[in-house]
Amino acid sequence: LGTPQSVRGALIAVEGLDRAGKSTQCARLVENLQKQGRNVLHLRFPDRSTPIGKMIDSYLKGESQLDDHAIHLLFSANRWEVASNIKSAIAAGTDVVIDRYYYSGVVYSSAKEIPNLTVEWASWPEVGLPRCDICLFLSISAKEAGQRGGYGSEKYELREMQDRVGKLFRELVDNSQEDLVVIDAGKKVEEVERIILEKVGESLKRISGGTTLREVT
């Protein structure tokens, strides 16, 4: 009685090619939301700290080999192991900012062009995960990303793979609904930061208007 109705937090994902600037922008977004007095949980996938995450880390570094379907399912399991934490944080009014989420899961695996590892196959294990309210896709060409100090030496950090990943991301953007927002990541860091904050602000407004947290379908 008389107390303001508590509003749930927002689930915000940041996606894009390797070197698109996701880590920088996630850190800035978290800071900006905190400055507004919001509670924020900052996550990233893969979360390399868990037992599953360690298997993923070793695969990405080329220290172990795994079947393409198997590694795909590990990436997904790595999300499922924190799904309930995400849900309870959101319910408690905390915003969750995630550096890569199920979009990366679908796009990277299917970009490997393995027979029967289609986008459809790759999407199934993600069904039921908390769906983001907004996904900021940091758009940059594979060429430009490659020029940003060059790629590292991890598994997928190859130009051809990145080209295919970029193409699949764009297809996903074209086929998806309102929750995917394309951001030109070729702009100055501060400009990208400003646009992201503006888009997230719009999403926060929709949430305080009462939109519920959905699941991936």
193 sits near Mg ion (criterion: CB under 5 A): no
Q: How far is the CB of 153 from Mg ion (least distance, A)?
A: 10
Q: What is the DSSP-derived secondary structure letter of residue 28?
A: H
18 sits near Mg ion (criterion: CB under 5 A): yes
Residue with tokens 């896709």: 137
Residues 186-215 touching ligand TMP, rule: CB under 6 A, are none
Pairing state of beta strands 95-99 and 40-44? parallel
> Minimal CA–CA distance to 124: which of 69, 84, 82, 169?
69
Q: How far is the CB of 18 from Mg ion (least distance, A)?
A: 4
Indicate the residue among 192 and 207 with the shorter CB distance to ligand TMP.
192
Contact partner at residue 156 from ligand TMP, Mg ion, none, CB < 5 to 8 Å by partner kind: ligand TMP
Which of residues 156, 186, 194, 195 is near ligand TMP by CB under 6 A? 156
Q: How far is the CB of 97 from ligand TMP (least distance, A)?
A: 14
Indicate the residue among 129 and 207 with the shorter CB distance to ligand TMP.
129
Q: Which residues contact 195 (CB under 8 A, 6 or more apart)?
A: 183, 184, 187
Q: d(Cα 42, Cα 13) in Å, to the nearest integer?
A: 10
Scanning the chain, the segments in alpha helix (DSSP H) are 22-35, 51-60, 68-91, 102-110, 119-123, 142-147, 159-175, 189-208
Q: Which stretch binds ligand TMP (CB under 6 A): 99-107, 129-137, 140-148, 183-191?
A: 99-107
Q: How far is the CB of 97 from Mg ion (least distance, A)?
A: 18
Q: d(Cα 133, Cα 11) in Å, to the nearest integer?
A: 5
Which of residues 100, 131, 151, 185 is near ligand TMP by CB under 6 A? 100
Indicate the residue among 75 and 169 with the shorter CB distance to ligand TMP.
75
Q: d(Cα 208, Cα 19) in Å, to the nearest integer?
A: 33
Residues 26-65 touching ligand TMP, rule: CB under 6 A, are 45-46, 60
Q: Which spans of this chain sit near Mg ion (rule: CB under 5 A)? A: 18
